[in-house]
Amino acid sequence: MTQTWVDGNQLAGPLAEIFAIDLTGARGGCAHCGLAARMAEARVFDDLGPGLVARCRGCEGVLLRVVRAPDRAWLDLSGLNYLELALP
Ligand SMILES: [Zn+2]
């Protein structure tokens, strides 16, 4: 069975609730294979559980997970070595 995914732009809404800037344009380094790519290029799975799972387009490793409840959010960035943010 093949899982379906959408692109990393799906992260814009949930991450905008947590961060003051849009992180989809940020460049992230995959902790699994080292690929550096914009977060918008990640493959996001939103039908596997209570939140979103973003996977690397190079190796399918988990980059980040976001789970949202009415009064809080959980963010796991352990699949990223870094996030590079362009600032004005
Ligand atoms: Zn990777």
Q: Ligand 1 centre from 70 Cα, in Å? A: 31
User: Do strands 62-69 and 72-76 pair parallel, antiparallel, or not at all (unpaired)?
Assistant: antiparallel
pLDDT tens digit sequence for 29-72: 999 999 999 999 999 998 877 899 999 999 999 999 999 888 98
Write phi, then psi, for 71 (nearest 5 degrees).
-120, 10
Residues 72-87 pLDDT 10s: 889 999 999 999 988 7
Other CB atoms closer than 10 Å to residue 16's CB: what's the count? Answer: 13
d(CA 47, ligand 1 centre) in Å: 21
- Per the confidence metrics, is the pTM higher than 0.85? no
Whether the CB-CB separation of 44 and 23 falls below 8 Å is answered with no
* Torsion angles phi and psi, residue 23, rounded to 5: -90, 0
Helix (H, G, I), strand (E, B) or coil at 31: coil
